[in-house]
Amino acid sequence: MCHFKKILPLVLVLFIATGCAGMERQKIEVGKRSDMGIFEDFKEITKLKKVSAVKDILHNAEWEKIKVDMAREADYQFIFQFVNPDTQAKAIPYSVWIGPDKDTIEIIEGGYQYVHLNKEDSSMLFEAITETKLVNREI
């Protein structure tokens, strides 16, 4: 029984350490279209709560598998990146357009997935990736 008491803390530490190592942390890199029409680095979102919120909204959205030809260039673009540079995964770009009433956003994922988010999801996602309110954006 004495050996068990000595080994149990070591086993717990190893279990926790290997469990945490298996979770890959991600960040979101956001680009904003400049007046010159190119995307410039805008924000890097690293807070787990914000990254998770964006992933949840995108996961629960009702995506359409269509190729969309928008009337203008996207206002923002973002990609998910792994924090660990050794992790290799294909980064899928998300292009974001702000609607004319500035209360919803439309997103194209990788060129062939499209969604027009409702006002609530638009507001939450936009605030997570830009750290500003959707209605405060100047055109």
Enumerate the domain spans of the chain: 25-136
Q: Where are the alpha helices (DSSP H) in the chain?
A: 2-22, 48-60, 119-130
What global pTM score does this model have? 0.77
What share of the chain in percent tops pLDDT 90? 63
Mean pLDDT of the chain: 83
Q: Are strands 105-109 and 113-116 parallel, antiparallel or unpaired?
A: antiparallel
**What is the torsion angle, in degrees rounded to the nearest 10, for the CA atoms of residue 52, residue 86, residue 107 and residue 71?**
160
DSSP-derived 3-state class of residue 40:
strand
CATH for 25-136 (2.30.30.90, 2.60.40.4400, 3.90.550.10, 3.40.50.1780): 2.60.40.4400
What's the DSSP call for residue 24? P
Q: What is the pLDDT of residue 91?
A: 84
Q: Which residues of the chain have pLDDT under 50?
A: 2-22, 139
Amino acid at 80: F
